[in-house]
Amino acid sequence: MTNPAIILVAPQMGENIGASARAMLNFGLSDLSIVNPRDGWPNERADAMSSGALDKMPPVQVFADTPAAIAPYHHIYATTARPRDMVKPVLTAAEAAADIRRRQAEGQKTAILFGGERAGLSNDDVALAQTIITVPTNPDFSSINLGQGVMLVAYEWFQAGDVTAAQAKDLPATQEELNEFIARLEAELDSGGFFRSADMKPTTLRNIRSMLSRSDLTEQEVKTWHGIVSALIGKRKHA
């Protein structure tokens, strides 16, 4: 199974190339190609912004034009913010992630094109792709930074395959442990004159139980509560 490649077409700022690389590796992608980068390659600003990602990834491939860059792939996606007058399927990043995963499972090699900072992909570049990816944004402020766009697509791709194992957690206290504490608290509150009216006592106790049970206290936390009550009433005993 080959993970999707990211292809940056005519990117301007090295910082954005580096940010793209970092975002890719954050989400498990490492195949990066660049078409005709304005400031050449390698690029010191890209290295700095990548936070080490470029050192950990296979070497970036540099191409003179988009057709050369996309040649090895079975299916090409073009990212664009503006609608284009072309009859192609348009997917959100999440939909595209599912589509990419499906193609990968079939053995297809896929690549995702991103345009430069100023104007995005040219119509000629979009025409080379089979599928368009558009991220829904605030219509009044829709232009996404290049590195951010790469991150969103990488993030959705990662999410689409993520089956993160449940995080090991402390066991909650048993109901018995919780009930023992609540019974103790009730007894101490009784002798402290907390329940002004016998009528209201059941409701008040229910509310206290509700507060305590809602937070799924662990065994250790119930012990802490016992300690708190002891400290508060202990002041009396030692007074």
Which residues here bind a second copy, judged by CB under 8 A?
A: 19, 22-23, 25-28, 51-53, 56, 83, 87, 90, 94, 135-138, 140-145, 147-148, 151-152, 155, 158-159, 162, 164, 167, 170, 185, 188-189, 191-194, 204, 207-208, 211-212, 214-218, 221, 224-225, 227-229, 231-239
Q: Are 112 and 153 in contact (CB under 8 A)?
A: yes
Mention every residue, 6+ apart, whose C-beta is less than 8 A from residue 120. Answer: 79, 80, 81, 82
CB of 103 to a second copy, least distance (A): 15
Nearer to a second copy, 88 or 109 (CB): 88
Collapsed DSSP state (helix, strand, coil) of residue 157: helix
Nearer to a second copy, 109 or 223 (CB): 223
CB of 98 to a second copy, least distance (A): 14
CB of 151 to a second copy, least distance (A): 5
Nearer to a second copy, 123 or 230 (CB): 230
CB of 61 to a second copy, least distance (A): 20
User: Would the CA dihedral through 22, 24, 29, 35 be positive or negative?
Assistant: negative
Nearer to a second copy, 29 or 113 (CB): 29
CB of 44 to a second copy, least distance (A): 16
Nearer to a second copy, 18 or 69 (CB): 18
